[in-house]
Amino acid sequence: MEKATEQKGRLIIVSNRMPMTVGIEDGEMKTGPSAGGLVSALGAFLERRKQQGTELSEHKWIGWPGNSIAPQYHDLVKSQLRQMGECEPVFIEEQLMDQFYLGFCNKTIWPLFHYFPVLTIYEEAMWEVYEQVNRHFCEVVAAQVRPGDVVWIHDYHFMLLPAMLRERCPEISIGFFLHIPFPAYEIFRMLPRKWASGIVEGLLGADVIGFHTVDYVRHFLTSVLRLTGNQHQIGRLIVQGREVQVDAFPIGIDFERYHGTACLGKVRKEADTIRRKLVQQKAILSVDRLDYTKGIAKRLRAYELFLERHPEWHQNVILLLLVVPSRIGVDKYQDMRSEIDELVGRINGRFADIGWSPIAYLYKNLGLQALSSLYSMADVALVTPLRDGMNLVAKEYVAARTQDNGVLILSEMAGAARELPEALIVNPNSREEMADAILQALTMPEAEQTARIRAMRESVKKYDVHRWGRLFLHAMEERSALQQVTVEKLLTASGMERLVSQFDLSKRRALFFDYDGTLVPLARSPELATPGGGLKDLLRSLASDPRNDITIISGRQREFLQTHLGDIRLSLVAEHGAWMRRRGGIWRKRVFPDHSWKTRIMPMLEFYVERLPGSFLEEKECSIAWHYRQSDAESADFLAQELKFELNNLLFQTNMEVLEGNKVLEVRAKSANKGSAVLAVLDDAAYDFILAAGDDATDEDMFQALPKEAVTIRVGIRPTSAQYLVAGQQDIGDFLWKLTKLTSK
């Protein structure tokens, strides 16, 4: 990482390609445009931020320059690009880049993530190149970033990069956005486990992970759960002490650019010229990169069916088929081109007449104005991908409809369908549905067209690319503010020393310890978590000092605590505060709830035990706990949410409540909590040092009830009302041993 300077933080964009293509001609650097939805969308967003001079308005874009540059020109290219502004090239041999881009990226990830498992190739050597290129990018990014910078990584080419970069620069703020779908777990799991886990763990290195739709978010979270056991809470995951946010950020377009271009006199004139050439024919427009995910062949077959069924439309309709060359080096793409050529030939041959061809086919890249003319003049846009992360063409068409008419036919498999319900939504695998939609579009009354297009235009205008970028960066800012709070709460070595000397100087101490997860590690089942000799020695040693009043405060039943800890000079609180045994005293009940609720609730809980193999009930006097640590993680998560919902409904306005612990749901009497139990102990004496340590939600009651001057420590990094955080249960052990040394000195 570069050294800290007084400079402001920058936004570092990482994508496969830089926003421009760079080459060397006669020893000189030449630049050209770099095509693609990502570059144009992001470019517009960055440009606007720069003009506005907002926070992070300075940026740097790191990517491959589009060609392999001979090593003797590296310095020249770097320095010229730096002079021009904001690009940092990543030099990679063209051959390696081909193996990476045309290999794992486009023969493994692209087909699988778009639900084409039969086209997916699984080759270890390709995975290795993918890792290698991600690592190479990591080196370049790590050398560029300065403290305060925000790194935003884009797309499926770099799913390992967030974790690699996190390792190199732990403090840096990292965001990741996936522009393609994230598939359902049943598809994702087709990747060898090493690759699937590598991808999930790689992504979890980011602070914010963004997808286009909530479905992709859900799919990703399921994969995280299945592969790592990490369970989210409303899209938040705790990963090695960091909170990671996973959320949907549907990408938009630069509305003003597309709308504004369509309004230009030049563009209108061009649109009128094309319209005149078509005479009375209605125009249907189809615009895509050449890609099997876009469903071009199926679209053509649907159009063929439409022509077959509706001879009255012959001579009166034309399909403008615009295809942009893409991924020229992949065989599948060559085959597809031949298939489309043949289909166009067949349909034209079958239906054409003197002076009319049903399809006009253009295989080329168009400039913005030429594309806008087509968007402006087309009566219908036919956008029917078989699978598409979002699809910007649909939104661009809507933005360009300045005359308030036009019909969008949109595949339900495109992310955009979620945002544009006023389109005619079709299933791209059904020729019938598509053919019917074509007829409906061509005959739709003008008033209906207007109502639909206006509604869609409002949405495309409001949720544009600027809002998308702003929301993503805002989420990153929030994350880093939260991370900051967490970092501030972390109990450092010097903080610990301070607490130790505070302890040393005090005369009367109340020490409260939760049991599971705090004094002993969490075990697969409760009976396995018994205190070892080391822990008992530690507690005995602490208890031997008459200044220390120790209370073990647990959700466990009193028999367990009595059996395992009853012989030590300390107080015990069982069942989250329902029972208390003062030091040297007998067990007393602190609450006397009516137990009739158990008979009502038991059948419901037993039903869930039946439904979830590996789960079981633990009946305590004042509560019932449903444990599911040993069950299949995903089913358990699902059923736990369902049961919690049902219980909350049932127990609404009663004196019972549902508590969510670590892989356990517990129903208990409200009054019996750890908070009231610690307060009862504090009534016994005037303490000048109070310490409480715990690891789960039930311990929060204790942290909140204690006076402000108490030292409260939560085990496990997550939002808490405790004053300090420690990463693991072992840290509490180390801390207590330090206190013990003072006790015995």
- Give the C-alpha separation, 303 to 201, whole Å: 44
| 262 interacts with ligand ADQ by CB under 6 A | no
Radius of gyration of the chain (CA): 32
Amino acid sitting at position 198: G
CB of residue 111 to ligand ADQ, shortest distance in Å: 13
- Give the C-alpha separation, 267 to 510, whole Å: 79
| Tokens of residue 324, six digits | 């942009």
Catalytic residue among 254, 291, 514, 637: 514
| Tokens of residue 144, six digits | 């560029």
DSSP state of 490: B
Nearer CB in complex with ligand ADQ: 101/689: 101
Nearer CB in complex with ligand ADQ: 394/702: 394
CB of residue 289 to ligand ADQ, shortest distance in Å: 5
Q: Which residues of 632-670 are buried (b: 16+ CB within 10 A; e: fewer)?
A: bbbebbebbeebeeebeeebeeeebbbbebebbbbbbbe
CA separation (Å) from 452 to 92, 394, 441, 445, 656?
A: 48, 13, 12, 11, 50
| 274 interacts with ligand ADQ by CB under 6 A | no
Nearer CB in complex with ligand ADQ: 249/689: 249
Q: Are 75 and 108 in contact (CB under 8 A)?
A: no
CB of residue 198 to ligand ADQ, shortest distance in Å: 23
Q: Are 565 and 531 in contact (CB under 8 A)?
A: yes
CB of residue 177 to ligand ADQ, shortest distance in Å: 8
Nearest-CA neighbor of 138 among 186, 220, 205, 55?
A: 205
CB of residue 179 to ligand ADQ, shortest distance in Å: 4
Residues 233-252 that bind ligand ADQ (CB under 6 A): 251
| 165 interacts with ligand ADQ by CB under 6 A | no
| 287 interacts with ligand ADQ by CB under 6 A | yes
Nearer CB in complex with ligand ADQ: 294/509: 294
Nearest-CA neighbor of 34 among 66, 59, 70?
A: 66
User: x/- contact string, 120-159, with ligand ADQ (CB under 6 A)?
Assistant: ----------------------------------------
Q: Are 196 and 227 in contact (CB under 8 A)?
A: yes
CB of residue 46 to ligand ADQ, shortest distance in Å: 15
Q: Mind spelling out the 3-state secondary structure of 284-335?
A: EEEEEECCHHHCHHHHHHHHHHHHHHCHHHCCCEEEEEEEECCCCCCHHHHH
CB of residue 388 to ligand ADQ, shortest distance in Å: 4
Q: Among this protein's residues, is 537 annotated catalytic?
A: no
- Polymer length in residues for the chain: 745
What is the DSSP annotation of 143-198? HH--TT-EEEEESGGGSSHHHHHHHH-TTSEEEEE--SPPPPHHHHTTS-HHHHHH
Nearer CB in complex with ligand ADQ: 70/263: 263
| 423 interacts with ligand ADQ by CB under 6 A | no
| 296 interacts with ligand ADQ by CB under 6 A | no
Nearer CB in complex with ligand ADQ: 389/577: 389
| Tokens of residue 204, six digits | 């979890």
What is the DSSP annotation of 192-223? -HHHHHHHHHHHTTSSEEEESSHHHHHHHHHH
CB of residue 721 to ligand ADQ, shortest distance in Å: 40
**How far out from the chain centre does Cα 526 lie?**
33
User: x/- contact string, 172-191, with ligand ADQ (CB under 6 A)?
Assistant: -------xx-----------
Residues 25-44 that bind ligand ADQ (CB under 6 A): 36-38, 40-41
Q: What are phi and psi of 623, to 5 degrees?
A: -160, 165
Number of residues that bind ligand ADQ (CB under 6 A): 23
Residues 330-389 that bind ligand ADQ (CB under 6 A): 365-366, 371, 388-389
Nearer CB in complex with ligand ADQ: 251/561: 251
Nearer CB in complex with ligand ADQ: 258/351: 258
Residues 392-421 that bind ligand ADQ (CB under 6 A): 392-393, 396
Positions marked active-site: 514
Q: Which residues bind ligand ADQ (CB under 6 A)?
A: 36-38, 40-41, 179-180, 251, 287-289, 322, 324, 365-366, 371, 388-393, 396
